[in-house]
Amino acid sequence: MDGRGKLLKSKQQADVFGRVRKAHQTEVAEDYVELIADLIAAQGEARAADLAARLGVSHATVTNTVQRLIGAGLVESRPYRSIFLTDAGKRLARVVRERHLIVRDFLVVIGVDAETAENDAEGIEHHVSKETLEAFVRMLRKSTSEG
Amino acid sequence: MDGRGKLLKSKQQADVFGRVRKAHQTEVAEDYVELIADLIAAQGEARAADLAARLGVSHATVTNTVQRLIGAGLVESRPYRSIFLTDAGKRLARVVRERHLIVRDFLVVIGVDAETAENDAEGIEHHVSKETLEAFVRMLRKSTSEG
DNA sequence: CACAAAATTTAACCTAGGCTACATCTTTTA
DNA sequence: TAAAAGATGTAGCCTAGGTTAAATTTTGTG
Ligand SMILES: [Mn+2]
Ligand SMILES: [Mn+2]
Ligand SMILES: [Mn+2]
Ligand SMILES: [Mn+2]
Give the range of the structural domain holding residue A98, as residue numbers without chain letter. 10-146
In a domain, A38, yes or no: yes
What is the arithmetic mean of pLDDT over B21-34?
98
CATH number for position A133: 1.10.10.10
| Chain-centre distance for alpha carbon B76 | 20
What is the arithmetic mean of pLDDT over B13-22?
98
In a domain, B84, yes or no: yes
Kind plus residue range of the DSSP H or E element containing A75: strand A75-77
Q: What is the pLDDT of residues A66-106, one digit of tens each?
A: 999 999 999 999 999 999 999 999 999 999 999 999 999 99
Contacts of B6 in chain A (CB under 8 A): 42
In a domain, B109, yes or no: yes
Tell me the CB-side half-sphere exposure of residue B37, using CA atoms within 13 A: 21
Residue of A nearest to B136 (CA): A110
In a domain, B138, yes or no: yes
Of B83, B49, B36, B75, the C-alpha closest to A5 is: B36
Q: How many CB atoms lie within 10 A of CB A20?
A: 21
Residue A2 has pLDDT above 50, yes or no: no
In a domain, B34, yes or no: yes
Q: How far apart are CA A48 and CA A55, in angstroms?
A: 10
CA of A118 to the centre of ligand 1 (A): 10
Contacts of B111 in chain A (CB under 8 A): 135, 138
Amino acid A56: pLDDT: 98
What is the arithmetic mean of pLDDT over B7-13?
96
Q: How far apart are CA B43 and CA B4, in angstroms?
A: 58
In a domain, A3, yes or no: no
The model's pTM is 0.95
In a domain, A123, yes or no: yes
Q: What is the pLDDT of residues B65-108, one digit of tens each?
A: 999 999 999 999 999 999 999 999 999 999 999 999 999 999 99
Looking at every residue in chain B, the average pLDDT score rounds to 95
Question: How many domains are there within chain B?
Answer: 1
Tell me the CB-side half-sphere exposure of residue A54, using CA atoms within 13 A: 17
D17: residue with closest CA to C1': B61
In a domain, A5, yes or no: no
Candidates A4, A8, A20, A36, partner chain B, best to mutate (most B CBs within 10 A): A20
The residue with greater pLDDT, B144 or A27, is A27
Amino acid B79: pLDDT: 95
Protein-proximal positions, strand D, CB < 7 A: 6-12, 16-21, 25-26
Of A109, A112, A117, the C-alpha closest to A140 is: A109
Of A31, A39, A38, A29, the C-alpha closest to A72 is: A29
